[in-house]
Structure formats: C-alpha cells, structure tokens
A and B are shown apart, each in its own frame.
Chain A
Amino acid sequence: MGLLTNLVDHLKAIGTGLKYLIPRRLTLMYPEYVEKLPEGYRGYLRYDNEKCIHCSLCARICPANAIKMYRGGDKKLRPGINYTRCIFCGFCADICPTGALEYTTIQDIAYEKLEDQVYPPEKFAKGVPQPVYPEKPIFIIAKVDEERGLKYDRV
C-alpha cells in the first residue's frame, strides 16, 4: 500500500514537471523590457530649488545621513544628497512641507565613479538622473495574473 502511494507520488511529481514544460515565464527580461513603476514608487529624488524653504527637515529626518545641508552664496541652506548612502526610505520627501523634494519612479541608475553619486544642491536641483539602456527598452506594467502569477503588459 505504502509502496503504491509512493509510486503514485513519484509519477505525480514527474507529471507536474512535464506539465510545466510549456513555457510560462515569470522573469522580466531587463533591460530589454523595463517596468514602468506606478506613481508613488520611492525612487530617485527630485529637488525643486524654487519651492525649498530652507527648513532642513529633510536633513534632520534622513536615517542614513544621506542628505546634508549646504550653505549657498545667498547664505541660505539647501539640501544636497549623497546617493551612496541613500536607502530610498522616502522620509525626506514625506516630511518636506512644500513639495520641494519628491520621489520619482526612476530607480536604475549606474555610476562610473563613487563621487558622481554626490549631488550638491546645484547639481541636485538640475534634475533627476536618467537611466541609460543599451538599446531602446520596451516599457511594461506588471500586473498580477491568475494564471501566470505576474503578467507584463506593454505600455
């Protein structure tokens, strides 16, 4: 009896393996396909120099000491960020009372040098770094699917 159920279980395992031989892949082929992240994803930060009220809350809340206040030519404090330390918790953007700091959905940036990842206020205000892909990627949106787990729809 035990031997028979054992045999059935063996056959069931092999059968399941055979069943899955029809390709139904979960992998996202990055960087040919790039996920367009939903609004509200905590990625790289955008800093708006105009909106900043020099309150330093962002630097004070930063858990990783990534944000530092720099004193500019006009004697006002402005935040600069060091992305080598940033942990993308988004606390700075959430505490910013004017929306001068906001998170973007950009997350995949590669740097050649460590120093490049330090953004003093002037560089920080210039805009968010843009990712570089080897060829033009196809942007997709990930969605849960009952059959396949995750489904990637083209934007």
Chain B
Amino acid sequence: MYDLINYLWETGLNLLFSPEIFEPLVFPGLIAAFSLLIVVIWLERKIAAIIQMRYGPYYISRHTEGALQLVADLLRFLFSEVIIPKSVDKIAYVLAPIILFAFTFLPIVVIPVSKDFAAIDHEYSLLIALALMTLYSSFLLIVSWASNNKFSFIGGLREGFLSLSYEIPLIISALSAAVLFDSFNLIEIVEKQAAMGWGIFYNPLAAIVFLVVIIYSTSRYPYEIAEAESEIVIGPFTEYTGILFGLGMGISYIKLYSMSLLYAVLFLGGWEPVVWPLNLHPVLPGIILFIKAFIIVAFSVFLRAVYPRYRIDQALRIAWWKLFTLAFLSLLFSYGIKIIEVMG
C-alpha cells in the first residue's frame, strides 16, 4: 500500500514537473501568465497614475499601494451577471471570447524555458509560435460580429485591418532573426546567441521593428485603435459584461506577454546567462527569460502615459510603409551579416 502511494506520488510529481505539463500550466504558462496579468494591469495603472501626478489604485490594499486591485476587479467580474443581449448570436457571443482567451495562451507552449526544458522541442518552433499568434485576430472578428453592435463592428473591422498589416512585418522581422542564427528552432537560436551575443546587437533594426509590432498588435498606445474609447466605446467588447468582459480585458495582456517572451528569446538572449543558482534545475533559467519579457511588457504599458492614439489610416500607413520597409531591410541586413560571416 505504502509503495503504491509512493509510486503514485512520484509519478505524479514527475508528471507535473515534466515540461509537457509544467510549461503550459505553471510556468511560463497559465499560472505565471495569470500572476503577470494581475501585476501588469496594476503596474500599468500605477505608472500612468504616477506620471499623471495622482495615486492610482490604492484603497483596495493600502500597504501594497493597491497591488490587489485586479484581484478585486476579477472577483467583481466573476460575480456580476453576464447579460446576453437578445440580438446577439448567442453561441458565438459566449464561446468566441473563451476560445480567444485559450488560443492567446497557445504560443507560450512552444517557447522553451531552457536548453533542456521545452514542452515542444520542434525543428520549426519559431514558425509554430508565429502561426499560433495569428489566430488571435480571427476570433476577435467573431467576437465583434457576434455582438451585433455598430461600435463592436467598427472595432472588429479596425482590428481586421490592423492584423492584416502587422502580421507581415512581424513575421519578416522574426525571420530575420532566424536567418541571423541560421535556425527555426528557438532553443538553437538562444544557444547561438549565447555563443555570438544577443540578437539585438546584431540586428537592431529587426529588434526595433519587432518591438513596435508588439505594441502595435496588442493594442497598446499609440496603437490602441480597435478599442478607442472616445470613438467606439470599447470596440469589439462593447456588448460584453461580467466575466466575459473580464476575459476580453485580459486577452491583449496575455498576448503581450507571449510576444514579449518570444522577443526575449529572439533578441535578448533568452534565458542566458545561466549563472550558478540557476543551473541547478533546468526550469530555473526561465526566471531570467521571464524578467526580460517583463521589462518589455512594462515598457509597453508605460507608453499609455506618453502617447495619444493614432488614427486607423495613419497606423496602416505606418505598418505598410515604414514597418514593412524596415522589416525587409532588416532581413537584408541579416543576410548581409551572414555573407560577411561566410566570407570572413
């Protein structure tokens, strides 16, 4: 009997700490993402408040400067009634935000935490991550269409236009990192960076384009166009209430997090450097990766206090003229570096 319990305990523990389970569910997946969500939304409000010379969230937990604000918000969202308007497409209205939320998590699965710890160690893991990221906008379109509201519709339309324009610079700038390091495998890319130096120093152009695309695609300011409050209320989520609205609020932050992780892997050297206490267990280098991603996330939310928002046509012009050209140049730049490497 004792042996059986012991056996089950050990296999259970092994199963939990196996990359296939641990990565999507604990770190950097679901649990880590949720705690980041709570911190980041608080941080965003706090940063904006400090720059704007006010206090921001405070009263919900005075000793921590209101850090539990989002927990309280989530509880409120959970217990408030979900009102489903008569005019909506009910199945799509309810399911679309849930599926959208789940799909936004997916790219995290292929992002490795360290050399020996990846849920999916695939030859083409970069391409898989990019492909999974593009699922986002199609479900947002369903959300907006199902709502049967003019403001949602305009918001969805805007999101559609934007996603068409940001995906190309996103993929090209990611590919220029792949060209630079000669691999589509994210683990190999980090290994190469450990040897050569960070991608951001080799190809700063691609790094800048990718950063702008992160801000662009997760509707952070100045590209907060699909939700523009003073124009179209809250965009695709105008008709939503309760926890469904809460999901909608969190989605763009989760996307921001997953893209920042990818950014850290591609341009900031991933989990490198692996120094003493971190080499004890293969999951520990992930902390470095997480910190790097967090800095990107914090910078993106900080921009809320700096910028107004662009108009949709201006944003599209930026994407198609500036970002597209720069992304292409960065690809050529990577090729140039490769050629110099081969020649020299």
Direct contact of A and B (CB under 8 A): yes
- Residues of chain B within 8 A (CB-CB) of A114 are none
Q: How many residues of A contact B (CB 8 A)?
A: 13
Question: Which B residues have a C-beta under 8 Å from some C-beta of A?
Answer: 47, 50-55, 302-303, 305-307
The chain A residues found within 8 Å of chain B, CB to CB, are 13-14, 16-17, 20-21, 23-27, 29, 149
Contact: A21 with B51, CB < 8 Å? Answer: yes
Q: Which residue of chain A has the shortest Cβ distance to B302 in the bound complex?
A: A17
Which of B50, B55, B303, B307 contacts A21 (CB under 8 A)? B50
- Taking the closest CB of chain B, its distance from the CB of A148, in whole angstroms, is 8
* CA of A20 to CA of B53, assembled, Å: 8
Chain B residues whose C-beta falls within 8 Å of the C-beta of A16 in the assembled complex: 306
Known: A13-B306, A14-B306. A20 touches B55 (CB 8 A): no
| B51, B52, B302 — most chain A CB neighbours (10 Å) | B51
Contact A26 B54 (CB under 8 A): yes
Tell me the number of A-to-B contacts counted with CB atoms below 8 Å. 31
- When the two chains form their complex, are residues A26 and B53 in contact, meaning their CB atoms are under 8 A apart? yes
Verify B55–A27 contact, CB threshold 8 A: yes
The CA of A25 and the CA of B305, in the complex, are separated in Å by: 15
Question: Which A residues are in CB contact (< 8 Å) with B50?
Answer: 20-21, 23, 25
Cα distance A149–B303 in the bound complex, in angstroms: 24
CB–CB B307/A25 < 8 A: no
Known: A14-B306, A25-B54. 6 other contacts (CB 8 A): A17-B302, A23-B50, A24-B53, A25-B50, A25-B53, A27-B55
Residue numbers in B under 8 Å from A21 (CB-CB): 47, 50-51
Closest-by-CB residue of B relative to A19 is B51
Nearest Cβ on chain A to B60's Cβ, whole angstroms: 15
How far, in whole Å, are A27 and B54 apart by their CA atoms in the complex? 5
User: Within the complex, what minimum Cβ distance (angstroms) separates A144 from chain B?
Assistant: 15
Complex Cα–Cα for A29 and B302 (A): 24
Query: How far apart sit A25 and B55, CA to CA, in the bound complex (Å)?
Result: 7
> Are A27 and B306 neighbours in the complex by a CB distance under 8 Å?
no
Enumerate chain A residues within 8 angstroms of B303, measured Cβ to Cβ: 14, 17
CA of A25 to CA of B48, assembled, Å: 12
Is the Cβ of A29 less than 8 Å from the Cβ of B306? no
- CB pair A20–B307 under 8 Å, yes or no, is no
Q: Which of B53, B55, B306 contacts A17 (CB 8 A)?
A: B306
* B51 in contact with A17 (CB, 8 Å): yes
CA distance A27 to B51 in the complex (A): 12
Chain B residues within an 8 Å CB radius of A24: 53
Q: How far is A93 from B297 in the complex, measured between Cα atoms in Å? A: 58
Residue of A whose beta carbon sits closest to that of B54? A27
Of the candidates A13, A26, A27, which one forms a contact with B307 in the assembled complex, judged by CB atoms under 8 Å apart? A13
What are 23 A-B interface contacts by the 8 Å CB criterion?
A13-B306, A14-B306, A16-B306, A17-B302, A17-B303, A17-B305, A20-B50, A20-B51, A20-B52, A20-B53, A20-B305, A21-B47, A21-B50, A21-B51, A23-B50, A24-B53, A25-B50, A25-B55, A26-B53, A27-B53, A27-B54, A29-B55, A149-B53
Closest residue of chain B to A150 (Cβ to Cβ) is: B53
Query: Hey, which chain A residues are within 8 Å of B54, CB to CB?
Result: 25-27
Task: Give the distance to chain B from A86, nearest Cβ to Cβ, in Å.
Answer: 30
